[in-house]
Chains A and B, each alone.
Chain A
Amino acid sequence: MNTAATNAGDVQKEESMLLQKAMINANYDALATAHEEGKKISSTFVPGNLNELLMCFDLVRNLPEINALQAGMRKLSGGYIMEAERSGHSEDVCTYVKTDLGMMSKGQVGPSGKPLPTPDVLLLSYTGCFTFMKWFELVRDEYDCETAMLHVPYQADGKITDNMRDFVVMQLKEHVIPTLERVSGVKFDIDRLREYLAESARAEDDLVWVLQSAKNRPSPIDAYFGAIYYCGPIFSAFRGTTETTAYYEALRREVEERLEKGLGPVTPEGLLDEERIRLVVEGPPNWTHFRDFWKMFYDEGVVVVASSYTKVGGVYDFGFRHDPDHPLETLADYCLGCYTNHSLPSRVDMLCNYMDEYEADGFLVNSIKSCNSFSAGQLLMLREIEKRTGKPAGFIETDLVDPRYFSPANVNNRLESYFQMIEQKKLRPEDRSAA
């Protein structure tokens, strides 16, 4: 296996992780110098992002959610959140928003320590999270920059209709593309978009292969803690680039190698020796204590085999790929199909499917304290999945990037109870009460 050489006690990293880190740093560098080099900057959100389209206008892409989670992982978010609260944002506001606003107030320095200049355009593709609208309203108010809003109809009935697709395409043609042309000064070239989309589809094939490798026993990947890294390039500023295709090829080779050898996932402390419990997880992870949180799982031999969070930027495992032959329609389908735009019943169907296909032993929800959009209904989903699959379900609460809302002892206490409950239920009935 190609893991980076480490000293004793160092965190183990795969080659693909190092490749990704270089991509992220390069993007922060590009953002820092964009204006000096005469380039324009766009800000946009992860779910249903239109990266290939933005690339057509030579825009450098900034993703505030990624900045917030990076700030969380680098222990910077706590200070930004306090700063935003001092400006009047309440304790209950989404902590991604407060991290972003706090970062602006504290001098617009990005997570890498380099300047994060003012965006020239905000592309808001609305895909289910109403907070996104308020977030960009605040950013627009702060920077007085242009906003292109794409209304993506909610998949209330669990399917995409022609009308829905046409509505999105119409907005792309009549509003989004003209705005981006005006801001960037670059004329839209649909063939350029086709090229990027073809590149995306290649990377998407490899990503899906990697995520579905978790159907094996043992799973060669952790489809939550590990897959969050795997999804980074495709869900952010890099989808449609050749570097991203190369990243996924490298990642696939690593996973193939582990699969051939019958090895488990790589954790920060090395290869997982024994897979004891397979889980499906709903909800984002906590970023401020990401490694501690992961450790609570791998220390107990718990591997996540499928997760909804790794689908928030786009759902590929039921067949969707970006289609260069129908460039605008495929962008519409992508936005319409991302996980955040799914109704509760279709999310339940999807998660039940994962439970079954990935032979999971249990279903866990990590509910986010400051996420009003997605915490609603999670308990109902849990009950329904529990009922349909007969598998034990667990519920914990943490937060995205507010370090005050991650209580390691409490989370560990609940997880430990939940894992023991699963192990007990896995036993033969007559052995259960002795477990």
Chain B
Amino acid sequence: MKTFIGIDLGSTTTKAIVLDSDETVLGRGITNSRSNYGIAVDVAKQEAFLDARFFLFRKLLQDLPGLGGLLDEFLASLEQDFRLQQHLDQLGDLERTCIESAGDDRLGGDGPETRELLSELFRQLQEEAPKLFAPGSSRKSDFFRDIAGSQYANVSKSVVEDSKISFEAMLNIYDRSIIDVENRISTDADETKFMSALDRTCKRSNSFSNLTNELRAPLKTVLDTEFEETYVCGTGYGRATLPFSKEHIRSEILCHGLGAHIMHPKTATVLDIGGQDTKAIQVDPHGIVESFQMNDRCAAGCGRYLGYIADEMNLGLHELGPMAMKSTRKVRINSTCTVFAGAELRDRLSMGEKREDIVSGLHRAIILRAMSILSRSGGIRDQFTFTGGVAKNEAAVAVLKELAYENYGEVTMNVNPDSIYTGALGAATFAQRTIVH
């Protein structure tokens, strides 16, 4: 099967989109951008191909009479089981790596005793894992590094009690090992993981258990489908480091413009707030960029700012938006400087301001900066599409809507649930059109 791939190597996350020859999105993949960009690209691509298999499987199952109205439930359950299996495999890898690292004196652990503690720690992590992927569960992050890191730290505290091994030594071992684990690509066959996830799903639910054999055949068909990487285009902050030749690289501006147009064909203005860039782009009715403006010299008011605030408040990035939405009072924050924000935050807290009001004020500060960039690019035109990681933040979206209305009147504002993939979608579309057109 011919596929066209778009990679968006951002400063925080790396995204991949797989298209077929008809520009249909087959799959999306995302991972954290790590020290090794090449690996980040491979992991994002691998994730997108996995997602593509789920997509194809869904298509094949649509006509399976036995599933009736349970298709969505079945696939959600299958994916949870698949992700659990993936997580357990990575935990296994992490355990082996940590045990190897435990022999390194510089990390502050004592070989045999540390290994014993690690075995106990990982036993508990394996035990807790199914809860993380159970239906209705919520996770602060979808990335293995974050999930495993947070659990590891929590469990370490209890396992080192009454031991001469320090908590810091355990964390040192983790920090050393996670880099190696992250920079390895899983070579396990997808088929094994898919089949084991299918077994798990079917065993758990009576509705599916009697369909196991009927489900195996289409899944096998999907797993046997070979994806040909017909053309790849890369974009994003790290595009220069992508292992592609120059003609396979497109600027973020072009990709976000086209990606937004593909998602919302009436888009005229695009605002993208990513990790370290804020871009305001004006596009023509075909998604071709007419003009753009970006933040200069300083990443004040970009996604990293929110990340920094989340760290300062010991919150997950995902929790900032919901907290800001609880605000009942406007607090004016003037600094969009990421470094000053921490000082401003502590100062406000000491003055007795509520956390939610401060966080809401911080959201407003970054959107005000984005408004300035938007006005420099020519303002907001109808329709207005908001993309990038920050578009997932409901408080940022709410302030942007309010300010867009105040400054430009009624405009349709699009925020796509997959907005984080806008750049990758644009890149994939360029890849597809390079060959097909």
Contacts and interface: CB of A to CB of B under 8 A. Distances in A.
Contact of A416 (B251, B297, B437): B251
A188 interface: no
A405 interface: yes
B288 interface: yes
B430 A434 contact: yes
Interface stretch (B46-54, B115-123, B252-260): B252-260
A295 interface: no
Contacts of B287: 433
B378 interface: yes
Interface of A: 369, 379, 383, 386, 392-393, 395-397, 405, 407, 410, 413-414, 416-418, 420-421, 424-425, 429, 431-435
Contact of A379 (B250, B254, B258, B376): B376
A413 B249 CA distance: 12
A366 to B, nearest CB: 12
Given A413-B251, A416-B251, 11 more contacts: A393-B291, A395-B293, A395-B376, A397-B297, A407-B297, A417-B251, A417-B253, A420-B254, A421-B254, A424-B288, A433-B288
Contacts of B237: 413
Given A410-B296, A410-B297, A425 B288 contact: yes
B297 A421 contact: no
A395 B291 CA distance: 10
B297 A383 contact: no
B433 A433 contact: yes
Nearest to A397: B296
B429 A420 contact: no
Interface of B: 237, 250-254, 258, 286-294, 296-297, 376, 378, 429-430, 433-434, 437
A431 B433 CA distance: 9
A420 B250 CA distance: 8
A424 B254 contact: yes
Contacts of A392: 290-291
Contacts, number: 60
A424 B433 CA distance: 13
Contacts of B294: 413-414, 417
A425 B286 CA distance: 11
Contacts of A407: 297
B437 A434 contact: yes
B252 A417 contact: yes
A432 B286 contact: yes
A360 to B, nearest CB: 16
18 contacts: A397-B297, A410-B297, A413-B251, A413-B294, A416-B251, A417-B251, A417-B253, A417-B254, A418-B292, A420-B250, A421-B254, A429-B286, A433-B288, A433-B433, A434-B430, A434-B433, A434-B437, A435-B430
Contacts of A369: 297
A166 to B, nearest CB: 42
A421 B376 contact: no
B317 to A, nearest CB: 24
A410 B294 CA distance: 10
A386 B378 CA distance: 11
Contacts of A413: 237, 251-252, 294
Nearest to B434: A434
A424 B289 contact: yes
